[in-house]
Amino acid sequence: MKRRDFITKAGLASVGGAATVAAASSFPKPALAQERIEMVIVSTWGRDFPGLGTNAQLMAKRLGDVSDGRIQVQYFAAGERVGAFDSFDEVASGNAQAYHAADYYWKGKHPAWAYFTSVPFGLTASEMGAWIHHMGGQELWDELAGEYGLKCLPAGNTGVQMGGWFNKEINSADDLKGLKMRIPGLGGDVMAKLGASPVSLPGGQIYENLVSGAIEATEWVGPWNDYAMKFYEATKYYYFPGMHEPGGYDSLGMNASWWGTLSKADQALITAVAHQTNDWMMAEYNAKNGEYLRKLVDEQGVVVKEFNDDVYDAFGGAAQEVFEETKAHSDLALRVHESFEKARSEAGGWLKLADIGYSQKRNRVLGL
């Protein structure tokens, strides 16, 4: 090779190498560790309370785990930072970033909040999922929450709840008159229509009020939680099914301004953890309730009774009155109710043939 050719080629190679280095240096460098996110979650549930409390605590831990500790979560159970029913204002004001609660606790601020937990003769867990994710429910929830500076996501479900604990048999709607009963949400409004005196209490205050006689009846969740609360020590009549909460959603409610500062990736991460908590909690309640129903009956002598048709018809008539009043509240309340009704008709109509139809046939054949 001639010296001139060698120098020329070497020079070109050198230039090419420099170009390669320059090109490589133009690629984005690995992103530096993103800034740590501080997230305070306040709750309406007691510390370590089975299901509701433990799943909220687990959700807080998962948020830290899936972010490798970048999302630093401080979780406060009811009463540890603020009272259970003060959670809404604590987050809306920006004093905390999020709450874990049942949104029907806020119906005094706007009755449409009730629909995003559960309402009388409402949606089961499967139907709620269909409505929220695919039938416009989340968009309406966003509209409602946005009016209060919040962003809410489903983060738990307890399924169809029991009708409640009573200190006497309920054979007719007349037996409800004058009854002091802990029951929140629109379910409490239904009871009021039938002459009962509904009381809204956080879970941690129900037992003491039931034992003292300050209330004569209560609903809470179902056998697993009710066993832990020891309601059987105050009353033995345990009625089913609950008309008031057929698929009670829990909510991860977040301060909207704080939510807006997060990256799309972090919003997606938090959403995924909330949805996973929703699925996990529902599965746990289905796994536990049968076991604890047996314990209530066999170990504690609880009498399980079914509301008769006359009582349920009275519930239905009162619920219709409550819905008419709710729809008249505002345009948003009307639109939420109409969307809910559409989901109940369409998703419920399908599940009547599918899940319910199958379960009835299976149980008949197997004698379940």
Rounded to an integer, what distance in angstroms lies between the CA atom of residue 173 and that of residue 276? 40
Q: Which of 53, 103, 54, 244 is nearest to 162 (CA)?
A: 244
3-state secondary structure of 225: helix
Residue pair 57/75 in contact (Cβ under 8 Å)? The answer is yes
pLDDT in tens, 14-71: 444 443 333 333 433 333 346 899 999 999 999 999 999 999 999 999 999 999 999 9
Q: Residue 124 carries which DSSP code?
A: -
Residue 122 maps to a domain: yes
Phi, psi of 240 (to 5 degrees): -140, 165
The CATH number linked to 99 is 3.40.190.170
* pLDDT computed for residue 98 by the predictor: 98
pLDDT of residue 295: 98
| Residue 6 identity (one-letter amino acid) | F
Cα 240 to Cα 248: distance, rounded to the nearest angstrom: 15
How many independent structural domains does the chain possess? 1
Task: Let me know if residue 293 belongs to a domain.
Answer: no
For residue 76, is it within any domain? yes
315 belongs to a structural domain: no
In a domain, 268, yes or no: yes
In a domain, 81, yes or no: yes
What pLDDT is attached to residue 94?
98
The answer to whether residue 341 sits within a structural domain is no
Q: Note the pLDDT tens digit of each residue in 107-130.
A: 999 999 999 999 999 999 999 999
Least Cα distance to 72 among 54, 50, 97 occurs for 97
Range of the domain at 257: 37-157+247-286
Taking residue 327's Cβ as centre, other Cβ atoms within 10 Å add up to 18
| Strand 180-182 versus strand 197-199 pairing type | parallel
**Residue 34, pLDDT score:** 64
- Give the three-class secondary structure for 159: coil
pLDDT at 35: 86
User: What confidence score (pLDDT) does residue 30 get?
Assistant: 36
In the chain, which residues have pLDDT < 50?
1-33
In-domain check, residue 323: no
